[in-house]
Amino acid sequence: MSKPKILLLDIETAPAVAYIWRMFDETVGLEQLIDPGRVICAAWQWYGEKEVHFGAEWESVVEEVDLDSRTVTITPTREWMRDLHAAMCEADAIITYNGDQFDLPKLNGEFVQLGLPPPTPAASIDLRKVVKKMGWVSGKLAFVGPHLKIGAKVKHEGFELWKKVLAGDEKAQSKMERYNKQDTRLLSKLYKKLRPYIKNHPHLHEDAKEHCPSCGSHKVQRRGYRYTKSFKIERLQCTACGSWHDGKKKKLEASPKNGR
């Protein structure tokens, strides 16, 4: 049985820029838009591997030198996004934090602009949705990491970091890379912690009868039954990752009605 390929990814974006009249309660029309924003960097890692891959617009540039005017034009390229696209096409599942609403739609928009086809369909595991069911006081990764003692996000100066990155500050860009990569590492640790609680975890292993559909371990034990109105369902628990899943299902026979 082949091991499923699980990809963890996180992106960072540049904000949209627009002309505004006020600092609050402002509706921005299209004619006020200056720059719609974009993905400026991304970090991705294969679950179970140490290396974290990284791509950013400041790492790959095209330099055009005009000998007559003695000017140099530096143009960011998007070629690094093709590497991320290729990784997504290899994945059986993609793990993100709020990726269903943010990262994945943003990336799809970039891929369309690059003329790339949609990535190969893969299961999406958005850990933000799992955290929302934990009842914690905050669902932010900055809270969840330390709360579960799996690590913390890289501290930075806030929006000032984005301003410096977009201005070409190399130190700021280096910090942004560390920030982006650390978020991806946290995803790996968080996934391992939360996996037993992901009730709708996709079956990434072909033989679910003999192996845990979540982690692939063969250490699965029968733990009695649970009942619905119509079925008796075998309870199975993986002693490796702790997750529960259903075994054999038997339809319950309806009781005969009194007097008939």
Q: How far apart are CA 53 and CA 73, in angstroms?
A: 28
pLDDT at 221: 87
Tens digit of each residue's pLDDT (9 = 90 or more) over 188-237: 999 999 999 998 888 887 665 668 888 888 888 888 999 999 999 998 88
Q: How far apart are CA 96 and CA 75, in angstroms?
A: 30
DSSP result, 206-234? S-TTTS-TTT--S-EEEEEEEE-SSEEEE
**What pLDDT was estimated at residue 59?**
84
| Residue 60 to residues 32, 56, 208, 222, Cα–Cα distance (Å) | 30, 7, 44, 54
pLDDT tens for 52-98 read 999 999 986 666 666 666 665 556 677 899 999 999 999 999 999 99
User: What 3-state class would DSSP assign to 79?
Assistant: coil
Mean pLDDT of the chain: 90
- What is the CATH number assigned to the segment(s) 6-197? 3.30.420.10
CA 202 to CA 206: how far, in whole Å?
11
pLDDT at 203: 85
- The percentage of the chain sitting over the pLDDT mark of 90, rounded to a whole number, equals 68
Domain boundaries, the chain: 6-197, 207-260
Tokens of 235: 């309870």
pLDDT of residue 204: 82
pLDDT tens string 223-241: 899 999 999 999 888 888 8
pLDDT of residue 66: 65
pLDDT 10s digits, 113-151:
999 999 999 999 999 999 999 999 999 999 999 999 999
How far CA 19 is from CA of 23, 136, 163, in Å, comes to 11, 38, 17
Residue 1 has pLDDT above 60, yes or no: no
CA distance 2 to 137: 39
